[in-house]
Every structure is written in C-alpha cells, then in structure tokens.
Amino acid sequence: MSSNFRISRAFKNAKRICFNADSKFVFFSDSHRGNNGFADDFARNRNMFKHALEHYYNNGFTYIELGDGDELWENRRFERIFRANKHIYMWLKKFHEENRLHFIWGNHDMKYKNPATIRKNLHYYYDSVSDTKKELLIGASFSEAIFLEDENTGKGIFLLHGHQADWFNYVFWRLSSFLVKVLWKPLQILGFSDPTSPAQNFKERIKVEYKLEKWIQENNNQMMITGHTHRPRFPDKNEIPFFNDGSCVHPRSITGIEIENNEICLIKWHIITKENGTMQIIRTVLEGPESLTHYMQ
C-alpha cells in the first residue's frame, strides 16, 4: 500500500465540515500530552497551551486538533496523562459542549481509531474531590481526516495528521509504539532522539513532506494542512498550498494555524519578559494573514 493510496483513501473518507466567512478555526497538533515525567516534552508548554485555548474559546473559534494530541506511545495509563493535564481537558470539554471540537488521530494516538479506546479514555474521568465519575468528552469526534468545505464554492481544505506519508509510522505504528515505550523513552531522558521520527530526523522529514507535496500536485493542487513533522510551513501564494501547523512541543513556544474572515495565518504563542521583570504569554503572527482564495483550487 503506497503513501499516495493512504492519503487518497483518507481524502475520500474524510469527515466533511462546512464553513463560511463567519467561521473561525484554530489548528494545533503534536501536543504529545504526557504524564509530567522527565520525558514529557509538553510539560514546559502546558500553561501556555491552556492560555491559548482559553483565548480561542472566548473568541468563538472551533478547535481542530490535527493528531498526536495524547502521547499514547510513551504512556500506558491515560489516567496519568489526564491528571497532569486536567485543566487542558476541562477547556477541551468547554469546546466539546458547544460542538466546537474535532480530533484527527495521528500515529502517537492512533489507538483512537478504536471507539472502545475513546470511550475508555475520554468519556468519563474520576473526580477525586467528590469521589465520583464525571462526564468528560462523551461522543468526541475522531477522524483520520477532515475536509473543510466552503459552503458557497464547494472548494475546501484537506486536514490530516500527515503520517500517511510516513510508511514506518503508519504501517508499523504498533512496533514504533513499542520501541518508543521500551527503548527511546528511557534514552530520551538521557538526551537521545528517536531516529524513526520525522520531527527528529531531517532526512525523514524531507521524505514525508515531499510525498505530501507530490499528492497535492497530482490532485489539482488541493490545499492541505498537516502536522506530524513539527516543522511549521506557510507557502507563498504561488507555491504548492501545503501548510503545517508545527507543534506544541517547541522548546519555548507553540505554533498553530488560524482561519478567520476567510484568511489564514501562522501564529506562535510564547513568553516574553517585560521591563518590570514579569513574564507574559503573547500571541505573535509569523506569516499572513492571506486570503484563502489564493490557495483553494
């Protein structure tokens, strides 16, 4: 099974969501929410991510997570992930209750292909204060891909994690998960990187991006937004319409993509130190905004 076949199958079966000029979307991926241990790369950005979610919720955005939200390769028990990130899940719950939350599964949370895993991990949580089980994300929507369709033109944006172009991490994701859990997680604590990950291996990243670009070119320059490689991408108007929202585990920031007023931009949330010595989380626009009409064919 080729990467082209996997990407095309995801496109054909993608969940369809209509949008218009009033729609607002924010895309993050590759949070790799962990258990706050030494190997948890998300831990340093946890509060920054929570602040960003709060901003988007209060400003009427729909949140779409493009895969690898929960780090299910390194962590056997989701309960530990939840305890370390409860305030994050409470904000996700707010989005979910207003039908403003959609998940795409990636390779590190590919277990969410199974509805039983979604029910086990995300439908309820244990509240230690009241000693009761409470509702969390009952009916949460997980898809391999999403197609955002302009309700006026029928043109759209193809959303997926991007590991469909990564043969080893798609076909052999169970083996990859095992290797990360028993081998690379302990070595990561000592400073070693996983050579099979395109986020850590430059050559693998180039291969994945090339395959995704090739698919776009062979499919009428279909606009695409992915994650997986952790490298933000925002093309010029005359380039292949291939976007990447980056990741939420950069050393000192998180990156994402916003769509508002039919315009798209690449953004970064990071911490600055003010003159009085206090620290502040701010949002910075890295690229754009540009009209979607430049990219949607």
pLDDT tens string 6-31: 999 999 999 999 999 999 999 999 99
- Residue 160's domain comprises 3-294
CB 239 within 8 A of CB 247: no
CATH number, domain with residue 176: 3.60.21
Confidence of residue 187 (pLDDT cuts 50, 70, 90): very low
Element (H, E) at 254: strand 253-260
133: tokens are: 């089980």
Cis peptide before 289 (omega within 30 of 0): yes
State residue 282's pLDDT score: 97
Q: How confident is the model at residue 90 (pLDDT cuts 50, 70, 90)?
A: very high
Q: Is the pLDDT of residue 181 over 60?
A: no
**What are the two backbone dihedrals, phi and then psi, of residue 226, each rounded to the nearest 5 degrees?**
-130, 180
pLDDT of residue 170: 62
pLDDT of residue 172: 45
pLDDT at 177: 59
Check if the beta carbon of residue 107 is closer than 8 Å to that of residue 171: no
- In the block, tokens 């319409």 appear at 241
Average pLDDT of the residues in 160-175: 71
Nearby residues of 277 by Cβ (< 8 Å), 6 or more positions away: none
Cβ-contact 296, 158 below 8 angstroms: no
Tens of pLDDT, residues 197-252: 555 556 777 888 999 999 999 999 999 999 999 999 999 988 999 999 999 999 99
Q: What is the per-residue pLDDT across 38-88, written as a single tens digit (0 to 9) for each?
A: 778 899 999 999 999 999 999 999 999 999 999 998 888 999 999 999 999
Stronger pLDDT, 35 or 187, i.e. the higher one:
35
Total domains in the fold of the chain: 1
Residue 33 has pLDDT above 70, yes or no: yes
Which residue type occupies 160?
Answer: L
- 292: CB partners within 8 A, 6+ apart: 150, 157, 223, 259, 262, 263, 264
Where residue 20 falls (left for φ over 0; alpha for ψ -120 to 50; beta otherwise) is: beta
